[in-house]
Amino acid sequence: MIQLRIAGGSVYDPANDTDGDVRDICIEDGRIVASLPDAAPRLDARGMVVMPGGVDIHCHVASGSVNVARRLLPEDHGRHPATAPSLDDPAEVPRSGAAGTVPTTFTTGYRYAGLGYTTVFDAAVAPIMARTAHSQLDDTPIVDGGFFALLGNDDYLLRLIDTGDRERSREYAAWVLGAAGAYAIKIVNPAGVELWKRGTKERTDLDTTLGSSRVTPRVILEVLVDSANALKLPHAAHIHCNNLGLPGNSATTLATMAALDGRRAHFTHLQFHSYGKSPDGRWRSAAREIIEYLNAHENISGDVGQVMFGSATTITADAPVEYLLHKSSGRKWANVDIELETGCGVVPHEYRDRNAVAALQWAIGLELFLLSGDPWRLVLSTDHPNGGSFMSYPELIRLLMDRAYRDEQIGRVEQKLLAGSAVADGLEREYSLSEIAIITRAGPARLLGLQNKGHLGVGADADVTVYAPHDNRATMFSTPRYVVKRGVLVVEEGQLRRAPTGRRLHVRPPFEQSVTRDIERYFDRYATVRYANYPVAGLHDPPVPVGAR
Amino acid sequence: MTHPSVIENVTCLGCGCACDDIDVVVASGRIVEARNACRLGLRWFGDGQVPSVVRVDGGDVTLEEAMRSAVTRLVEAERPLVFLAPGLSCEAQREAVAVADLLRARLDSITTSTALPFTLASQEHGHASATLGEVRNRADVVVFWGIDLAERYPRFASRYAPGPPGTHVPEGRRTRTVIAVDIGRATASIDADVRLAVEPANELATLIALEALARSPDTSSRYASLADRPWNSARELAAVLLSARYVGLVYDAEPDDRSTRTPVRFEALASLAQTLNDRTRCAALALRAGGNRSGSDSVLVAQTGYPCAVDFARGYPRYDPHSSPLGVLAHVADTALVVGDPTGVPSEVSGLTHLETVMIGPRASTVAFGERCVVIDTGVDGIHASGTALRTDDIPLPLRAPLAGPRSTAETVRAVKLAIRRLRPAGSGVGGAGRRALGV
């Protein structure tokens, strides 16, 4: 029986209304318990800040597409070698790797844990590539992980939608999630990726038709959002809207939010979807319109997708966006059309603080954070590695918590497009530690429906991070003093000591078995993988329960 | 003879197409039939009989003794080389890369001596590509560029393109235009609508001219007066490609002694495919040969950041595809761990009889290199051991195990890994003072 008492720290556990109270956190067999005998081993956390382990709701760390990016970036890896940690347990094999914008698998796990994050979700996996995502997650130690299945351009689903059969669409979605071992439904540029595969390079709006007038982004969104809710999945449909990255796209984003008309849904990397367009055609911030809509509608949630200055690599299923980025930046480009399901594009990118558009993107992200009325519904992400690396979260936290520092940074960036941005007008808000705990752990865990994560109540997974307070919040959040993962002390005095295997978070919703007959016929006709060979097998961890239908 | 049993939907690793529709018939512990398999597939499956020999320096020993010798020799090596031969599941490849990391070894695979020019070109340029099914379902024009399908990828045409119907090409072959480009003697063996012969010396010029024509109509008129062979060929092809809805450009990433395949040539192919996307859609498919080669590249990329030619000597992976070709490095290595089917090991490695070797793989005992050699025969991944393999387009497929056989390679290498780790409790770092870092 492994016991540990984290003694005397200031505990920030917003899910349990604990805001800096000094108290002990008791751990037994990987879970939080109410009390422990006095003789139990203790970790002296006096004077320190104790929070649940971080939860990343949206990043790209384990998929075929991430590997397309890794393969494309030998020069980036070469500049950022990562030596193996010294691990105490001889059963754990320490591994070297490469960091940079898209770190290798083992290095990803070590570095997330080193930041105090204990749960991560890859936001975009083509179901046909699920085995690859699982094997990369197997090699991403310490963190618990899962992924979202790309369904918004799925050929079979689009056919069902064309027939108007929403029930079968839902049953199909349930089948795919279980077959892939995925956690949630992801929608990327609905219909737009399929249009790109058909040769269209124009914008896709909510009522753009795809072959048939019955198939539009609006209908795809309705069907998949309703499916996630009817299946009572722990996480709502995770939506990447149409027209990402294009000036004036805030109109699409607002129209999409309105189209869902009270339905539960999550809108991801909102920063990339909050661009207005001035009458003279220039980019401007539309963050205020977007965040005000979100604030006023409790059915929807979002994550920010903050841009951080420096090198990034853009990886997305939204392949047409990558084509445009390649054309405008001239950087190298990889595209992979993925059969019957989705796309994949990769382009390395540099966000420069003297570049007007990059500065605007950065400011829009901050605006969204600073104008957010509910930290439980607008949580932190950089869409790693699209807006910046997860390694830049501490710097982002500093920008949110320290107004003087933020103002100094705002003064340094290119101002050309910032007129009208609330950030330029000097927003005063500073996030509190409790709010940071919400946007980096309690909030994402709640939005993901992870009942045992993001909090420190009795029965929760014993994923705990202990920080030494520091005036420079970036310093504080970049080097936790201790990190405990499921009761195991993995970071001790700032050093990684253990690297246990994380668990897989996935769902297996029940579905009407009769739908598989037609799916099988479709596979025989159009797929290059046999129906029998499509589902993954052998996941060791049991599925996360879905609600009763 | 026992009643035959049929194992359905078995994945074949005879070439990179990784057909997963093979029905394997087993009787009396042997494969008696592999339905749907092509010539390469039949050879790959064989009858499923493999030796199960465990040997140290020519003498039979127990598995435990062999494992102990293997681990001792690897740990004591001054400059180890870990070589991933073809024929491994991704699971076995992951274990072998871990061993290389622990040993601070040079790590290589068959890719360095085969598809390196393609690999370097696609890292430099990126690529506009697709999975095979996308070309099957969409391509109305399919170009086979100097690729001998009949010899190397026998079922490609009937499973992917141009044969089968697809979502956007309802009548299959009849709704597609097929272009075959022969580069010298490298014949594109396919029944084509348009066939073009290009002199090897003109291949690059033709590709560059074709890309220029694809770039814009203006370019096309600007070069109208050029009338040498490459321009004439390019004009003929450009007309078809630019009127296509979706072009599949299929070529071979593997070497072929009938034509020279430099990185520049692969860059020109990649560049052409990318540029065609300005005017239509195009996906380039560079095909890889059998034995889960794509899997090895993918596993190396995920764990080390690089697809091949990795050196762990400094305690982290370093990409070394240029300065230290496999042959040169292998000459300085003192111990080699060869994992996989040793019959697929290139002569740069197998010719190194001065090396101490540890060979873990199916039929290892039939090809022992050198006198000081630990040999552990294992089963064949995909015949005796289950797991995962990647098709040439990185689509992952399950490997089934229609037969029982010797212990799996993955399990064996994993045991070696854990034994090495136990001998190195400090974690990072091996050897230390005595270790020479090569090429530094």
In a domain, A445, yes or no: yes
Nearest to A45 by CA among A542, A428, A531, A466: A466
User: Taking all residues of chain B, what is their mean pLDDT, rounded to a whole number?
Assistant: 91
Query: Alpha-carbon distance B98 to A159, whole Å?
Result: 44
In a domain, A513, yes or no: no
Average pLDDT over residues B268-283: 97
Q: What is the pLDDT of residue B219?
A: 65
pLDDT digits (tens, 9 = 90+) for A347-359: 999 999 999 999 9
* B311 membership: H or E segment, kind and range: strand B310-311
The answer, for A354 touching chain B at a CB cutoff of 8 Å, is no
Is there a contact between A335 and B128 (Cβ–Cβ < 8 Å)?
yes
- Greatest Cα pair distance, chain A, in angstroms, is 71
Residues belonging to chain A: 549
Q: What is the pLDDT of residue A250?
A: 98
Class in CATH terms, B50-113+291-384+405-423: alpha beta
Tokens at B217, concatenated: 């109509």
Query: How far A350 CA sits from the closest chain B CA (Å)?
Result: 17
Name residue A472's beta-bridge partners. none
All residues of chain B having their beta carbon less than 8 Å from the beta carbon of residue A526 are: 133, 137, 166-167
B50-113+291-384+405-423 and B116-287: same fold? no
In B, minimum Cα distance to A330 occurs at B125
The answer, for A46 touching chain B at a CB cutoff of 8 Å, is no
CATH for A201:
3.20.20.140
- Any idea where the domains of chain B sit in the sequence? 50-113+291-384+405-423, 116-287
Residues of chain A falling short of pLDDT 70 = 1, 548-549
Tokens at A468, concatenated: 């030494």
Nearest to A71 by CA among B114, B285, B392, B307: B307
Average pLDDT over residues B88-110: 97
Tokens 């805001």 belong to A19
All residues of chain A having their beta carbon less than 8 Å from the beta carbon of residue B245 are: 198-199
The answer, for B215 touching chain A at a CB cutoff of 8 Å, is no
Helix (H, G, I), strand (E, B) or coil at A260: coil
Average pLDDT over residues B89-95: 98
Of A155-159, B209-213, B271-275, B330-334, minimum mean pLDDT range: B330-334
Phi and psi at residue A42, to the nearest 5° = -130, 150
CB within 8 A of A17, min separation 6: which ones?
none
Q: What is the pLDDT of residue A465?
A: 98
- Residue A183 is part of which domain span? 51-450+460-496
Amino acid at A430: E
The answer, for B418 touching chain A at a CB cutoff of 8 Å, is yes
Q: Which of B122, B246, B396 sits opposite A132 (nearest CB)?
A: B396
Q: What is the pLDDT of residue B433?
A: 31
Write down the ipTM of this complex: 0.97
Query: Alpha-carbon distance A378 to A207, whole Å?
Result: 27
CATH placement of domain B116-287: 3.40.228.10
pLDDT digits (tens, 9 = 90+) for B57-87: 999 999 999 999 999 999 999 999 999 999 9
Q: Please state at what angle helix A130-138 crosses helix B293-304, rounded to 10 degrees.
A: 40
In a domain, A295, yes or no: yes
Q: Is the dihedral of CA A434, A438, A439, A441 positive or negative?
A: positive
Tokens at B384, concatenated: 């005796």
Asked if B318's CB is within 8 angstroms of A81's CB, the reply is: yes
Model confidence band, residue B23 (pLDDT cutoffs 50, 70, 90) = very high
CB within 8 A of A100, min separation 6: which ones?
A73, A76, A77, A79, A80, A311, B305
Query: How far A419 CA sits from the closest chain B CA (Å)?
Result: 35
Q: What is the pLDDT of residue B371?
A: 78
Interface of B with A in 256-275 (CB under 8 A): 274
Residue B149 has pLDDT above 90, yes or no: yes
Query: Alpha-carbon distance B16 to B10, whole Å?
Result: 15
Q: What is the pLDDT of residue B434?
A: 33
Q: What is the pLDDT of residue A96?
A: 98
Query: How far B9 CA sits from the closest chain A CA (Å)?
Result: 7
Is there a contact between A295 and A348 (Cβ–Cβ < 8 Å)?
no
Query: How far A82 CA sits from the closest chain B CA (Å)?
Result: 6
Query: How far A323 CA sits from the closest chain B CA (Å)?
Result: 9
In B, minimum Cα distance to A534 occurs at B397
In a domain, A4, yes or no: no
In a domain, A6, yes or no: no
Region of A301 on the Ramachandran plot (φ > 0 left; ψ -120 to 50 alpha; else beta): beta
Nearest to B213 by CA among B205, B265, A248: B205
Domain count, chain A: 1
pLDDT digits (tens, 9 = 90+) for B234-249: 999 999 999 999 999 9
All residues of chain B having their beta carbon less than 8 Å from the beta carbon of residue A326 are: 126
Residue B435 has pLDDT above 70, yes or no: no
Helix (H, G, I), strand (E, B) or coil at A99: coil
Model confidence band, residue B324 (pLDDT cutoffs 50, 70, 90) = low
State the count of interchain CB pairs (< 8 A) between A and B. 201
